[in-house]
Amino acid sequence: MSGGPFDGKAVITGAGKSQVGRRLMRGGLDLTLEASLRAIADAGLTPDDIDGVASYPGPGAPQRGFSGADVHEVRNALGLRTSWYMSGIETAGQIGPVIEACMAVTLGFANHVLVFRSVWESTAQADGGRASVLFDGGKLPPHMAWTAPFGALSPANWLALPAQRYMHDHGLTREHLGTVALTARRHAALNPDAVFRDPLSMEDYLGARMISEPFGLYDCDVPCDGATAVIVSRRDAAAGLPRHPLTVESAGTGMFERATWDQRIDLTTMAAHDAAATLWDRTTLTSADVDVAQLYDGFTFLTVQWLDALGFAAHGEVGALLEDGALLALDGDLPLNTSGGQLSGGRLHGMGLLHEACVQLWGEGQERQVGGAVGSRPDVAVVAVGGGPVAGAMLLSHG
């Protein structure tokens, strides 16, 4: 449909993923180029057609493995003649550059923008674990100066704090969080590319070792190596391309409070709530129109936050959605994280969720296709990524 912030002009015409796995021992740029070339070919384009490039986070990644390639590395390697490009981390989460690309094509700055995100955290942490990548040179990075002195070295610690408060204030339980993890694992079992596919029971979930209460092992996503890319095109430049273009109906980019992990006025909300508010402000669609949801699950509680923020339940009442997994199953009213999310599919850091939204809208989910059993596919997908002061959301349609 037309309307929305991009007036129907911004469309997704292709998507690609590299090999995804644990400790692949492949270089970040290698993975990035694999995903990029696959996305370009998927759109029916060649590198000569690509005149824009965008990526998160760009140079200066906070730790080793967090970024596989910069925009210029990809431009240089593929000899791209770009009329527009950007990268950044101060943007609407890991999909912020996709939203920037939508603006660029809408305004005529480019016809076909390659947007990529790549990580190689599994290989980077293979030798010494997470702590080994944080302190290159032995110095505390600035973003951890307020937390690491107190033994809080991981986002698991930072996000356990609001999770615990949400549980206290709103009656959310560990079983509710477990429903998010179990749903992801059930869907991963149907996705040959997922990292963890073995069955996971609620007993397994509750019995796993604790990381930072209320988070146990299965509340945390799995570091992996892999790259994801999509092609954002202007609709009139996409005529004749092989795929049905997916319309970007809206984008949520709001952040109304300071960018902190711990000073938000209501500790049981996050920047997600501001991004979601702007997403809905910019479209006539509502949460009731959503057929499939790909909601960030770096930790189970972040999916709870997005369900809350996007209005799938009244604030604080997400637990009711998670009483059992039926609602979130492929044949439920709100199929969730259909590729296994990051919890079981692998931590592709937001862009994997966008890739899966495209797969579902194109009806190519095979065994995990929403509506596949009855020969249909979803029309509207929401993608929302980030946690704490990181948040961005997109609404896509097949229309």
Partner 1 sequence: MAQTYTRPDFRLTPTPEGDDVVFWTGGEDDRLMIHRCRSCEQYFHPPAPACFRCRSRDVASEPVSGRGRVATFTVNRQPWLPTLPPPYVIVLVELEEQPDVRIFSQLVDVDPAEVRIGDEVEVFFEHWAPEGGTEVWLPLFRPVPPSVDAATVSGEDA
Residue 206 as a binder of partner 1 (CB under 8 A): the answer is no
Quote the DSSP letter at residue 309. H
The answer to whether residues 398 and 377 touch, using CB atoms and an 8 Å cutoff, is yes
First and final CA of the chain: distance in angstroms?
6
Nearest alpha-carbon partner for 261 in 343, 155, 342: 155
Per-residue DSSP letters for 62-82?
A: SSTTS-S--HHHHHHHHT---
Determine the Cα–Cα distance for residues 351 and 16; give it in Å rounded to an integer.
10
Residue 161 as a binder of partner 1 (CB under 8 A): the answer is yes
Residue 212 as a binder of partner 1 (CB under 8 A): the answer is yes
Residue 263 as a binder of partner 1 (CB under 8 A): the answer is yes
Look up tokens 């912020």; give the residue.
Answer: 96
Residue 136 as a binder of partner 1 (CB under 8 A): the answer is no
Determine the Cα–Cα distance for residues 286 and 133; give it in Å rounded to an integer.
41
Considering only residues 147, 183, 253, 305, which one is a binding residue for partner 1 as defined by CB under 8 A?
Answer: 147
Residue 259 as a binder of partner 1 (CB under 8 A): the answer is no
Residue 151 as a binder of partner 1 (CB under 8 A): the answer is yes
Binding mask 264-283 for partner 1 (x = CB under 8 A): -x-x----------------
Residue 208 as a binder of partner 1 (CB under 8 A): the answer is no
The nearest distance, CB 216 to partner 1, in angstroms, is 9
The nearest distance, CB 178 to partner 1, in angstroms, is 17
Q: For residue 141, give every residue at least 6 positions away whose Cβ sits within 8 Å of its Cβ, in sequence order, or none.
A: 62, 63, 134, 135
Query: Quick one: 46 or 168, whose CB is closer to partner 1?
Result: 168
**DSSP 3-state assignment of 41?**
helix
Binding mask 285-324 for partner 1 (x = CB under 8 A): ----------------------------------------
Q: Which two tokens stand for residue 389?
A: 């002061």
Residue 66 as a binder of partner 1 (CB under 8 A): the answer is no
Q: List residues binding partner 1 (CB under 8 A).
A: 130-131, 135, 139-140, 144-154, 156-157, 160-165, 168, 209-215, 258, 260, 262-263, 265, 267
